[in-house]
Amino acid sequence: MPVARRVTHTGEAQGEAQLPAGAFGVTPNEHVMWEAVRNYLFNQRQGTASVKGRKESRGGGTKPWRQKGTGRARVGTTRSPLWVGGARAFGPHPRDYGFRLPKRIRQLALRSALSTKAEAGEITVVADFRLSEPKTREVAQILRSLEIDRERCLLVMAEHDADLLQAARNIPNLRLQECRLLNAYEVLHADRLLIMESAVERIGEVWS
């Protein structure tokens, strides 16, 4: 069964924590992880890029010069894509880049990502803690105590914690996520996976 280092929020070591094999001990599937990351990034695209084609461009209704006798190439409009200031051929138009992945593929990608992090030793289990007040300095002090304040960190919670979310939202390298909302991209993007002890069992229940 995979294990991870267990610490308190003050940085005190407390041995090792067992990780559910169903979520953290599978053989990683690289292609499925690639598909999940691609799906996540494509779904984030706004798809609002747009340029004018020949039919949308204003002007160009008059033929620049007569068809024959000038020695130059024949031209029907000044809005030709070949001309400076002309329209663009096959340019982008607003569209939806998103697509859906089957549920089992998403689940396998997440289990593969979690197993990759566990195998690389990039998971730390932290004992559950509560903030005395929703202050950013408290969360920053916790990261310094764990010596991960310079790493890109994903903190996984068992359930929604409004105070912790409010306190951590101004820390650039820290992202918080509930275990039921995890996805492969966020797991792979983080340098360090910080999982609350109560969330470890929940991940095993939800994603195994």
Q: What is the pLDDT of residues 41-93, one digit of tens each?
A: 999 999 999 999 888 888 888 899 999 999 999 999 999 999 988 899 999 99
Residues 149 and 168 in one domain: yes
Number of structural domains found in the chain? 2
DSSP E strand stretches across 73-186: 123-126, 153-157, 174-178
Task: Judge if 135 and 194 occupy the same domain.
Answer: yes
> Tens digit of pLDDT for each residue in 137-146?
989 998 988 8
Question: Which residue range is the domain that position 72 belongs to?
Answer: 51-91
Of the three residues 59, 91, 123, the one that is the final residue of a domain is: 91
72 shares its domain with 27: no
In degrees, rounded to 5, the angle at the alpha carbon of residue 195 between the alpha carbons of residues 189 and 198 is 150
Q: Is the pLDDT assigned to residue 193 strictly greater than 90? A: yes
* Tens digit of each residue's pLDDT (9 = 90 or more) over 114-155: 999 999 999 999 998 888 888 999 899 989 888 888 889 999
